[in-house]
Structure 1
Amino acid sequence: MSARVEHTDVGAYALGLLEADDKRAFEAHLTTCRACTAELAELSGMAGVLTGMGPIEPEEDRRGEGEVVDLLRRRKAADRRTRRGTVIIGVAAAVTLVAGGIAVGSGLGGPSSPIAVGGTHHGTGPAEQFYEEGTPAGGVGAEGVTGGVVYESKGWGTHAALKLEGVRGPLECELIAVSTTGERKAMTGWAVPPAGYGVNGQPPLYMHGGSPWNPERIDRFEVVTATGETLLTVDI
């Protein structure tokens, strides 16, 4: 198990989906990886919500959130010898269902971002670490809103980490990539709790996102609300 793969096992470990050998290897990895340890603490609450939906039985009439956990278990059994990043996306999808259609936090193409729930923030997650170690492109925000984006080219497109402050909730937001030809694609979405991010002593939001476009095709990133308001524009 490579270090790259180990980082993507946080969601699977939190839900108890790892094989015995992989579980032992990941637990050994946790002793040396502060980012995964912090992220595991954040995901443990979600695991409690999902596993608290009741036992998974083999009846064909299972419905609701119990099917989400069952799907993750069966998918893990089929894909355990492939890259485990898909499990993280599955966890984000499960949380989206539980939360009523809006993810509290998600990550694409890499380890999931730190998740802020009810204005709390625990430790330094991979999104924050990537942002702080990079060279942010600063953004122009609406009144009181500040932030920026760190991005990198990947084989599949562009991986980006967003920092956002000065936003009050409740809101539903998306990080959008706008191409040089004006096309728009959503990279990730989240809900802003009433306490907000980066206001009244609340921590900022750090969020991962992914685009199938290479950086050369991207003109700018935008943070927009569900009502169409642009909170932040980051030219690249």
Structure 2
Amino acid sequence: MTARVEHTDVGAYALGLLDEEDREAFEAHLLLCGGCRAELSDLAGVASALNGIGPVHDEPAPAPGPAIDLVRRKRSADRRSRRGTFVIGMAAAVTLVAGGLTVGTQLSGGATVQVAQEHSGHLNHLGPAEQFYADGRPIEGKGIDGVTGGLVVESKGWGTHAALKLAGVKGPLECELVSVGRSGERRVMTGWSVPPAGYGVPGSPDPLYMHGGSATPLKEIDHFEVVTSAGKRLLTVRV
């Protein structure tokens, strides 16, 4: 992928199969490609689902090991095939039962499985953005017209990664999360459409969780904004 970044490499990136040079190139690509960011959000749960799960024993296997290791070994053996094709196909096909765990995720292609503990009976409904937000230290924002929300941010080698929680907003709207540097430079981190029902409002109580990335280093960011396509500022989060 060092010759050129391919959109299909999102699967390999989600599973941590890219080497360092390719990973850095793809992370730079993510800043400019909303489609890959959206697909990465869908695929990000695959890696955590595969980690720690033993192989399927439809055929004799050499020795038990994490399923993610099987993917990596297969990945190495298939380097001449189109990058990412095997990874995404493997993730879409995974429906494992090992140690009482049924594994799966929602992929962009429509293959759907769920993560469920057989013994507890509980489903894990947290998407990657919501999980990152729940595990972090949210910075509450100041909204208008009943809008509430916040961000969990982290510094990355390529810039700043953020997870947004947004509630109290009704659609239809088109919105963007923007980082505003101390110099005044504005960078769009991610964008989305709010359906008429909205998020975090009566009749549609679940808030929206989104990932975003900015090339601006965290130490150089003054604040973040959620703005509409018409330029209305719904939420401001200062860091």
Q: Which TM-score band (shorter chain)?
A: 0.5 to 0.7
5+ long unaligned stretches in structure 1 = 49-121
Q: Deviations over 1:54-96 (max 9, x none)?
A: xxxxxxxxxxxxxxxxxxxxxxxxxxxxxxxxxxxxxxxxxxx
Q: More helix by proportion, 1 or 2?
A: 1
The answer as to whether partners of 1:175 and 1:224 remain within 8 angstroms in 2 is yes
Residue of structure 2 in register with 1:170 after alignment: 172
Q: How many residues align?
A: 154
Q: Pick closer, same or farther for the CA change 1:147–1:26 going to 2, 3 Å.
A: same
The 3-state SS of whatever aligns with 2:198 is coil
Give the counterpart of 1:18 among 73, 85, 88. 85
What is the CA-CA distance between 1:213 and the residue it aligns to?
Answer: 1.1
Q: Pick closer, same or farther for the CA change 1:195–1:18 going to 2, 3 Å.
A: same
Residue of structure 2 in register with 1:153 after alignment: 155
The answer as to whether partners of 1:38 and 1:125 remain within 8 angstroms in 2 is no
1:213 aligns with 2:216: yes
5+ long unaligned stretches in structure 2 = 1-11, 18-38, 47-83, 113-123
Structure 2: how far apart are the matches of 1:169 and 1:31?
A: 43
The answer as to whether partners of 1:127 and 1:207 remain within 8 angstroms in 2 is yes
The answer as to whether partners of 1:177 and 1:220 remain within 8 angstroms in 2 is yes
| Mapping of residues 197-236 of structure 1, within 5 Å | 197-202=199-204, 203-236=206-239
TM-score normalized with structure 1 length = 0.56
What is the CA-CA distance between 1:29 and the residue it aligns to?
Answer: 8.3
Bigger CA radius of gyration: 2
Q: Pick closer, same or farther for the CA change 1:24–1:164 going to 2, 3 Å.
A: closer
Q: Deviations over 1:176-232 (max 9, x none)?
A: 000011110100000000000101142100000000011101110100001110000
Aligned structure 1 segments of 4 or more residues deviating by more than 6 angstroms: 28-32
Q: Pick closer, same or farther for the CA change 1:39–1:126 going to 2, 3 Å.
A: farther
The answer as to whether partners of 1:176 and 1:224 remain within 8 angstroms in 2 is yes
Give the counterpart of 2:138 among 126, 136, 139. 136
Residue of structure 2 in register with 1:192 after alignment: 194
Q: Pick closer, same or farther for the CA change 1:5–1:196 going to 2, 3 Å.
A: same
Structure 2: how far apart are the matches of 1:207 and 1:21?
A: 22
Residue of structure 2 in register with 1:5 after alignment: 16
What is the CA-CA distance between 1:23 and the residue it aligns to?
Answer: 1.5
Q: Pick closer, same or farther for the CA change 1:223–1:29 going to 2, 3 Å.
A: farther
Structure 2: how far apart are the matches of 1:138 and 1:189?
A: 20
Q: Pick closer, same or farther for the CA change 1:25–1:184 going to 2, 3 Å.
A: closer
What is the CA-CA distance between 1:31 and the residue it aligns to?
Answer: 7.1
The 3-state SS of whatever aligns with 2:104 is helix
Residue of structure 2 in register with 1:111 after alignment: none
TM-score normalized with structure 2 length = 0.55
The 3-state SS of whatever aligns with 1:175 is strand
Residue of structure 2 in register with 1:123 after alignment: 125
| Mapping of residues 44-193 of structure 1, within 5 Å | 44-45=109-110, 123-193=125-195
Q: Pick closer, same or farther for the CA change 1:31–1:148 going to 2, 3 Å.
A: farther
Residue of structure 2 in register with 1:100 after alignment: none
What is the CA-CA distance between 1:18 and the residue it aligns to?
Answer: 2.7
Structure 2: how far apart are the matches of 1:124 and 1:177?
A: 25
The answer as to whether partners of 2:170 and 2:199 remain within 8 angstroms in 1 is yes
